[in-house]
Amino acid sequence: MVVVWSGEQPRYDVLAIPPAGVTLGRDNLDAADTGMSRRHVRLTVTDGRVVIHDLGGRNGTFVDGEHLIGAGIAIRLPAVVRIGHTICIAVSDVRDYHGVTPARRGKAVVAGSLAASCRMLDDAALAEDHIGLLGSLALGRELAHSYADRVGGERIVCELDVMTGLPLERTIDRARSPRTMIIVLDRPLTLPDQPELLQWLETDIRIVSVARCTDSFKYMEKELIARLVPRAIELPQLRFDELPQTIAIAIAARAPQAKVHASLIEAAMLRVSSMGEERMFRALDRAVAEWLANPARNPQIYNHDLDGYLERDAAMRNCLS
C-alpha cells in the first residue's frame, strides 16, 4: 500500500502487507483523521491477491469509488482505497515505491511510477540522443523540458496541433539558435513535415518528440523514424502515486485559497482511468474555475464539483450533437 493523501494534503508513505496481514486505522495511518476508526480495515494477501476486510469503520471504506460492503473482498490492482480522509493505493509490489521522495520536474511530480522513465530520459540527455516520449502530451512536455535542462542551451518548442494543421516548418522560430528542439505531436507527422525534419537531423540539435502513441509517426519512412526516435519511452498511463500531489499543485495554482477534500482527489484519480490525464486535468481546471465563480461556494472542493462539471459538459455536448 502507498499512502498518497491525508486530510487536505498529499502524502507519500509505503506500507507493506506482512504475511499475517495488517489492520489500518487512525492508530497507524493518521491520528488526526476523524473520518476513520482506530481499527478501520484489515488487509491480507491470499494466493497473491490483496483481500480487504471492512471492520465496520466510521464512514465506511471505498475501493475505486465503490462503497465496500461485506468482508473479505479481493480487489483488482492497482486500486484506489479511501478510508475517511486518507487515500491509499493498493499495488502488487511496493518495492518501486520504497525510499522514494516525490520531486518536481516542472509541473510534473516524479515518484515511484515515473522513476524508471526519468532514469532513461536522463541517460538519453547525458548521451545527447534523440528521444521519443509516448503518453500524455502534458506530461511529455514537462519531461521534455527536463531533458533540455540537462542538455543545456536554448530550446524551441514546435506544437503540431490538429486545429491549425500547420506544417512543421511554419512552427519553428528561426531567429533562435537552439540546442534542443521539442516537437509536440497533437497530430501525426505527415509527408510535408519530412523535408524539414531531415534538415534538422543533419544538425547537432537534439530532438525530443512528444506523442500520445506510435501512430503519430505512421506516415513517416521507417528510416526517418529510426533516426528521429532511436529510442522511445512509454510513460505510465496510471501513476496513482504521483497524481495526488500533481492535482494539489494544479488546484493551488488556480485557487490558492481552496481546501481540497479527499473525495475530489479520489474522483480525479479514478477519472484518469477512463479519460486520460490530459482530459481530466482540463476538466479539473474548469471545475475549479466554476467553484471560484460561485459566491456561495464551500471552502473545500469536493468530488461533486468535478462530477457536476463533467455532467453539465456532457449534457451540453449531447444538445449540440
- Which amino acid would we find at residue 41? V
Let me know: does 75 contact 50? Beta carbons within 8 Å.
yes
Confidence (pLDDT) at 55: 87
Q: What is the pLDDT along the chain (321 residues), one digit of tens a residue?
A: 999 999 999 999 999 899 889 999 998 898 888 889 999 999 998 888 899 988 887 788 999 999 987 768 889 999 999 999 999 999 988 999 999 999 999 889 999 999 999 999 999 999 999 999 999 999 999 999 999 999 999 999 999 988 777 778 877 877 778 999 999 999 999 999 999 999 999 999 999 999 999 999 999 999 999 999 999 999 998 899 999 999 999 999 999 999 999 999 999 999 998 899 999 999 999 999 999 999 999 999 999 999 999 999 989 888 876
Confidence (pLDDT) at 170: 77
- Class of residue 290 by CB neighbours under 10 A (exposed 0-12, middle 13-18, buried 19+): middle
Alpha carbon separation from 252 to 230, 245, 248, 260, 269 (Å, rounded) = 38, 10, 6, 9, 17
- Which amino acid would we find at residue 106? G
Confidence (pLDDT) at 59: 83
103 belongs to a structural domain: no
Q: Do 217 and 278 belong to one domain?
A: no
Question: Grid coordinates in use for 234?
Answer: 512509454
Question: Grid coordinates in use for 44?
Answer: 491480507
CA-angle at 308, arms to 302 and 309, nearest 5°: 105
107 belongs to a structural domain: no
Query: What sign has the CA pseudo-torsion 234, 240, 245, 246?
Result: positive
The structure's pTM equals 0.89
99 belongs to a structural domain: no
29 belongs to a structural domain: yes
Let me know: does 82 contact 263? Beta carbons within 8 Å.
yes
Alpha carbon separation from 13 to 30, 48, 65, 71, 167 (Å, rounded) = 11, 22, 21, 25, 47
39 belongs to a structural domain: yes
- Range(s) of the domain holding residue 316: 243-320
Which residues, 6+ apart, have CB-to-CB distance to 110 below 8 Å?
A: 102, 103, 104, 118, 242
What is the rounded distance in angstroms from the CA atom of residue 80 to the CA atom of residue 84?
13
Q: Do 23 and 73 belong to one domain?
A: yes
Confidence (pLDDT) at 233: 98
Q: Do 221 and 311 belong to one domain?
A: no
Q: Do 197 and 274 belong to one domain?
A: no
The three-class DSSP label of residue 67 is strand
CATH no. for residue 226?
3.40.50.300
Q: Do 60 and 84 belong to one domain?
A: yes
Q: Do 214 and 251 belong to one domain?
A: no
Q: Do 56 and 150 belong to one domain?
A: no
